[in-house]
Amino acid sequence: MTAVLYDYTRQDARGASTTEQAWAKVPPPLNPAERAELRDRAATLLKERDAVLVAHYYVDGDLQDLALATGGMVADSLEMARFGRDHPARTLVVAGVRFMGETAKILSPAKRVLMPDLEATCSLDLGCPPDAFAAFCDAHPDRQVVVYANTSAAVKARADWMVTSSCALAIVQHLKDQGRKVLWAPDRHLGRWIQEQTGADMLLWQGDCIVHDEFKGLELELLRREHPGALVLVHPESPRSVVAQADVVGSTTQLLEAVVKGSAQTYIVGTDKGLMHRMRQLAPGKTLLEAPTAGVSATCKSCAHCPWMAMNVLQGVVACLETGRGEVLVPEPVRSQALGCIERMLDFVKAHPGSLAAPRSGFVPNVGVA
């Protein structure tokens, strides 16, 4: 076999807490023969090691295809958590970012959870350090603490609820209906959007996603004028001026469903372009356009692709299964403290299956298209 193994020494030496470091760790593309060989090797190892591959929609298309071809799953962060918890395999290989591996481990402590690269992180997680977050919570003891899935286990250990983009709106609405005030972290755009939709009393941490924060409202308006029949699909981590123009606001799964079930021919997609792989497979005749980021004639500041998601490569899948490197460990008592807020979300979603429907419009009441 070709020796295209993942170099874990680079992982230990360099870290990947900046986007530059993350991109530097993404190896050059493989040729077709190397890709086929690694796919076969990974499939054999998954079987031999009683392992299942759980991939996020933003990772490389080869990994998504491998997950589906080997009985695994490609999903949003909520479904990844549920699938990993319920699957009987003794090892979960999580292709995504660190918080996804940690959530899998918190829910399934007896399973071995491996990641192709443990340093694949997320700007929301990085931007919400546990100590500062704990001080924020201490200062507001009267509020229910609701954290987005994109946080560390230590932050979740301080929370009453964890939510993902697919159920955040319904859960905050539920808290509001109970007369509760909310402390929200870390995504400021998602928090603001939920606040506007529900009218809940929310105190917001000011984090953001470096991918979605780059989508531009003005350029989107121009693109919509060029394609008047197009439906605009937006992930709620995007800025207000972008969300306000959306026909559908939702999680990755909800946006995918909108393309598959939608009657329009053309869709403008305001999320990481990794999702286009699955959209093209499930809606082959439809036209997909990327929502604009830096704008016409700007230098390429953003390419609508998460560098930490891009660190997940076939070589990493093979190497973690072969060597056991890249194992996610969540020490006690953090694990058991973080479990409560995740289980509360899963119980809520089970009891309210309708809560997973994507809102059809991002139009902000009393504000209009910002």
Q: Which residues bind ligand SF4 (CB under 6 A)?
A: 97, 122-124, 150, 209-211, 237, 272, 306, 308-309
Q: Which does 244 bind (CB under 5 to 8 A by kind): ligand 13P, ligand SF4, none?
A: none
Q: Which does 198 bind (CB under 5 to 8 A by kind): ligand SF4, ligand 13P, none?
A: none
User: Which tokens hold the place of 309?
Assistant: 């998601």
For residues 79 and 196, which CB has a smaller minimum distance to ligand 13P in the complex?
79
Tell me how far, at minimum, the Cβ of 33 lies from ligand SF4, in Å: 31
Tell me how far, at minimum, the Cβ of 305 lies from ligand 13P, in Å: 11
Contacts 24+ apart (CB under 8 A), 247-250: 247/360, 247/361, 247/362, 248/358, 248/359, 248/360, 248/361, 248/362, 249/193, 249/358, 249/359, 249/361, 249/362, 250/165, 250/166, 250/358, 250/359
Q: Are 101 and 85 in contact (CB under 8 A)?
A: no
Tell me how far, at minimum, the Cβ of 77 lies from ligand 13P, in Å: 4
For residues 168 and 321, which CB has a smaller minimum distance to ligand 13P in the complex?
168
- Convert residues 71-90 into a mask of x (bound to ligand 13P by CB under 6 A) and - (unbound): -----xx-------------
- Put residue 324 in one of left, alpha, beta given phi > 0 → left and psi -120 to 50 → alpha: left
Interatomic CA distance for residues 147 and 276, integer angstroms: 27
Considering only 251, 293, 312, 315, the residue that binds ligand 13P (CB under 6 A) is: 251
- Give the residue from 342, 338, 324 showing the smallest Cα distance to 115: 324
Does residue 209 interact with ligand 13P by CB under 6 A? yes
- Give the residue from 121, 163, 167 showing the smallest Cα distance to 144: 163
Q: Which does 77 bind (CB under 5 to 8 A by kind): ligand 13P, ligand SF4, none?
A: ligand 13P
Give the residue ranges of DSSP H helices in 165-229: 168-177, 188-198, 217-226
Tell me how far, at minimum, the Cβ of 209 lies from ligand 13P, in Å: 5
Does residue 198 interact with ligand 13P by CB under 6 A? no
- Give the residue from 122, 102, 117, 56 showing the smallest Cα distance to 317: 117
For residues 62 and 272, which CB has a smaller minimum distance to ligand 13P in the complex?
272
For residues 99 and 267, which CB has a smaller minimum distance to ligand SF4 in the complex?
99
Q: Which does 210 bind (CB under 5 to 8 A by kind): ligand 13P, ligand SF4, none?
A: ligand SF4
Q: Which does 76 bind (CB under 5 to 8 A by kind): ligand 13P, ligand SF4, none?
A: ligand 13P
User: Which tokens hold the place of 89?
Assistant: 């395999």
Interatomic CA distance for residues 245 and 364, integer angstroms: 9
Interatomic CA distance for residues 205 and 147, integer angstroms: 10
Interatomic CA distance for residues 310 and 58, integer angstroms: 8
Tell me how far, at minimum, the Cβ of 3 lies from ligand SF4, in Å: 30
Q: Which does 345 bind (CB under 5 to 8 A by kind): ligand SF4, ligand 13P, none?
A: none
Tell me how far, at minimum, the Cβ of 298 lies from ligand 13P, in Å: 22
List beta partners, residue 231: 267
For residues 108 and 251, which CB has a smaller minimum distance to ligand 13P in the complex?
251
- Convert residues 141-180 into a mask of x (bound to ligand 13P by CB under 6 A) and - (unbound): ---------x-------------xx---------------
Interatomic CA distance for residues 181 and 120, integer angstroms: 33
Write the CB contacts of 43 (distance below 8 Å, at least 6 apart in sequence): 66, 69, 70
For residues 38 and 128, which CB has a smaller minimum distance to ligand SF4 in the complex?
128
For residues 96 and 316, which CB has a smaller minimum distance to ligand 13P in the complex?
96
List beta partners, residue 75: 56
Q: Which residues bind ligand 13P (CB under 6 A)?
A: 76-77, 150, 164-165, 209, 237, 251-252
